Amino acid sequence: MDVLRITFVDGFCGGGAYSDRGTTVEGSPLVLLGAVEKARMALNEGRTKPINIDAQFYFVDSDQTAVDALRENLANAGHLTRLGQDIHLTRAPFQRAFPDIKAAIKARTRGNVGRSVFVLDQKGYTDAPLPLVKDILESFSGCEVILTFAVGWLIDYLSDKPQTLKAVAPLGLSEGQIREYLQLKDQRGGRIVIERLLQQHIRRETGATFSSPFFIRSVEANKDLWIIHLSNHVTARNVMVEGHWLIKNNSLHFGSGDFEMMGFDPHLDPASTPDFWFGDYEQELMRERLKDGVLKRLRDRYASESVEYLRFLREAANETPARLADFD
């Protein structure tokens, strides 16, 4: 039997369930467990030689109450006998738990591939320091990180006060960067410029080849939360972007869908940048703009050389919400 080894790490797992307007909703640990079972069935449908998904799950939280609640929810869902086998619960800050998890992944992989998915649903923007995320990505060539980042809160509360500088230290922002952001903050369209500079900073600080930072907007708080996917493989990036297109109007970015959407374009007026909601209208607009955008990119960047198709896609991936299929 062929075996696919993979590890799922939920660094801020919570209690396994939460209430949404009076309705109990499964938390990320149970969602991950259910997703693997669905993948197992889909992968083996119609196969005469089945593939075994050898998955290990590490659920980490610093709150003992949350860990106890998760244990109870796992038991109620029929997973009690799996605890200590393929499901591992840890009460500790994620930074402290990571070295043991890292060693466990290394012990079950070859060549530091370490196929794994780290879900870091932090509360804010500093509980998962960027150097730690860099360590994850550098340790395993086959890993992906899904990081929540409260970008709206960070921009709103950014200041040059000593306590603020200390609070954002895990992000690796210099005093010069913070001063630049503060100057932009009150300018017309400055918020979007800050967001794009932060995107570049996060990718640079984590060493990720590919990043897909899209927004989930909080209606109650009127602030934006980034869901950032970080990886070193264009295929992994493509799967994540596919997910944003599937949920359509629940994801958001700014721009028309052409290139430079996730980079800084000095010719773009940030104040007039439209919302991009991953809907049918945006898809049609994006594909039309890409027709000209691809030709312009080939002319401006590769005029004096030939470029392989896959290289072109890899180098353009961070600048557009397009999927690989949108270029065909």
Nearest to 132 by CA among 106, 169, 158: 169
Rounded to an integer, what distance in angstroms lies between the CA atom of residue 43 and that of residue 98? 30
The CATH number given to whatever domain includes residue 205 is 3.40.50
| pLDDT given for residue 263 in this prediction | 45
Q: What pTM, to 2 d.p., does this model score?
A: 0.88
What residue numbers bound the domain in which 80 lies?
Answer: 2-327
pLDDT above 80 (res 3): yes
Residue pair 27/19 in contact (Cβ under 8 Å)? The answer is no
Name the domain count of the chain. Answer: 1
Mean pLDDT of the chain: 87
pLDDT tens-place string over residues 166-208: 889 999 999 899 999 999 988 877 888 888 889 889 999 999 9
Rounded to an integer, what distance in angstroms lies between the CA atom of residue 247 and that of residue 279? 9
Helix (H) or strand (E) holding 59: strand 51-61
pLDDT tens-place string over residues 60-83: 999 999 999 999 999 999 999 999
Higher pLDDT, 156 or 104: 104
Confidence of residue 272 (pLDDT cuts 50, 70, 90): low
Name the least confident of 42-56, 115-129, 219-233, 267-281. 267-281
Burial class of 62 by CB neighbour count within 10 A (0 to 12, 13 to 18, 19+) = middle
Rounded to an integer, what distance in angstroms lies between the CA atom of residue 317 and that of residue 305? 20
